[in-house]
Amino acid sequence: MEKMNIKVLLLFILIVFVHLMFNQSLQLHYDEAYYWVWSKNIQLSYYDHPPMIAYLIKLTTLFSDKEFFVRLSSVICSSITVIMIYLTTKKMFGQKAADISVILALAWPLLEGTFFITTIDSPLLMFWSVTLYALVRGLVFNEKKFLYISGISLGCALLSKYTAVLMLPGILIYLLINSQKRMMLLRKDVYFALLLSMLVFSPVVIWNYQHNWISFSFQFHHGVSTDKKIDLAGLGDYVGSFIGASNPFISLPLLVFIFIKRKQILRDERYLLLISIFSFVSLFFAYNSLYKFMEANWVAPAFISGIIFLAGCLAEYNVKWTYRVAISLVLVLLPLVKMPELFVPRIYQSKIPAINAFMGNAQLYHQIKINDIRDGDVILSCDYGNASRGWYYLGLGRTYVLSNFKFSNSYADWNKNLNLPIKNAVYFCDGNDDIYLEQLKVYFKHITPLPIVGYRSSFVNNKLYVYRLSN
């Protein structure tokens, strides 16, 4: 049996190693800190999302809570995603296509992002890729046991992010169009596999039942607009992100080959399965972008099957420049993103968007810890992001977000641990909105501003507004 091309393997190892080294120095994004907080409060599910990311972070931080170990879960998930793309492509289209699929996966910016930012997309992409591999073995190659494996892995994908459910309509489209597979809809195996996925996902259903379906409701309204007023600019934004965030040297050739192979797709069940899933997910978000802004990462799972299809086509037509340019673009940009202090002129360093989310925050909380917090103080913040970073970098235990604050999210559920009225507290926030102060007055008689805490470098100019609260 042929093995992965040694150059491709070395490229894979190099990129994983670079991310591992870089992840040691980057401070936590507020979402990463939030998921870390989840791992300290293990539940069946959470207000925002299902629980898988919390379970994975819990495992990788058993012995240390350093940023490296928080992000190790994502590096593992992303690496497995690449491996599963490779194995699926090899099973469907052979060794040459499999090697190309690894290069394309590593050139895929959305996957690159999951190597160094711990988000719910990391386990989603991993379990989606595992599910797709099992579906290929079970549906295309008629290996029945893999249908049951696909059910279990789909359940795990649903435990990662609710959008995993979008794989199911793609599978149904494949079964309905493929006359040879249509009869499977009358057999028990498909439904047993679906039942397995629901059993794996059932803890989230139980949690939602106990919490008035709040998570399902939140995510439905977050992703689907109830105001059906068409905005073509939203569709334009979606198309731009669809092409750009997936690397134009992946997305555009993929669309070209779908057109070239449009007739063969209906006859070749390998293509049909891949494109059915890719097309449904892509078009679902395209439709919804007419009414509401769609985040670039939401459509990401569709590109797993898209990359496998594209790799098969590039291998068949012996087109090399596409994946070579795609990976070259990423290899050029990778040092700029990972080590901007070495490659970006100093006068432009402060212009890099969103870098303040990854730098300078630990220093802010260190100042608050030394100068403002006293023994017996309850620690409060204005939203889940600030509270989570405070919880992580202060190292003083639980931080709270009062339930009347708009973005309390899961923190509102944890306020049962808070004894009211609160005698003394310290409150911090990266904004100083008057609405926040009015909300604090509901709980406190005395609200005293403390000196603003700041941290400035050539990259960031971060600050926190701090108040002492008492009754």
- Give 372-398 pLDDT, tens digit per residue: 999 989 999 999 999 999 999 999 989
Lowest pLDDT segment from 1-15, 68-82, 256-270: 1-15
Together in a domain, 308 and 405: no
One domain for residues 30 and 147:
yes
Cβ atoms of residues 290 and 231 within 8 Å:
yes
Quick one: 371 and 320 in the same domain? no
Task: Tell me 261's DSSP state.
Answer: T
Do both 322 and 364 map to the same domain? no
pLDDT at residue 218, as a whole number: 84
Q: Judge whether residue 414 has pLDDT over 60.
A: yes
113 touches 255 (CB < 8 A)? no
For residue 253, which amino acid is it?
A: P
Claim to verify: residue 311 and residue 402 sit in the same structural domain: no
Tokens of 82: 């690449």
H helices present in 211-343, as ranges:
214-223, 232-244, 248-260, 262-267, 269-289, 302-317, 321-338, 340-343
Q: Which residues contact 319 (CB under 8 A, 6 or more apart)?
A: 253, 313
Coil, strand, or helix at residue 455? strand
Q: Identify the band that residue 335 occupies on the pLDDT scale cut at 50, 70 and 90.
A: confident
DSSP states along 31-98: HHHHHHHHHHS--S--SSS-SHHHHHHHHHTSS--SHHHHHHHHHHHHHHHHHHHHHHHHHHH-HHHH
Alpha carbon distance 100, 95 (integer Å): 9
Cβ neighbours of residue 188 closer than 8 Å, sequence gap 6 or more? none
Does 277 fall in a domain? yes
Pick from 108-112, 174-178, 342-346: least confident: 342-346
User: Does 224 reside within a domain?
Assistant: yes
Is the pLDDT at 454 greater than 60, yes or no?
Answer: yes
Asked if 67 and 116 count as a contact pair (C-beta separation under 8 A), the reply is no
The pLDDT of residue 129 = 98
Residue 234 and residue 364 in one domain: no
Range of the domain at 387: 355-470
Answer yes or no: do 326 and 360 share one domain.
no
Last-in-domain residue among 278, 307, 338 = 338
Alpha carbon 359 to its chain's center:
20
Of 151, 104, 124, 103, nearest in space to 56 by CA: 124
- Cα gap 29→250, rounded to integer Å: 28
Q: Average pLDDT over the chain, rounded to whole?
A: 91
CA distance 123 to 254: 24
> Residues 214-273: pLDDT tens digits?
998 888 877 676 677 888 888 899 999 899 888 999 999 999 999 999 999 999 999 999
Please tell me the total count of domains within the chain.
2
Is residue 165 a part of any domain in this protein? yes
**Whether residue 370 sits in one domain with residue 256:** no
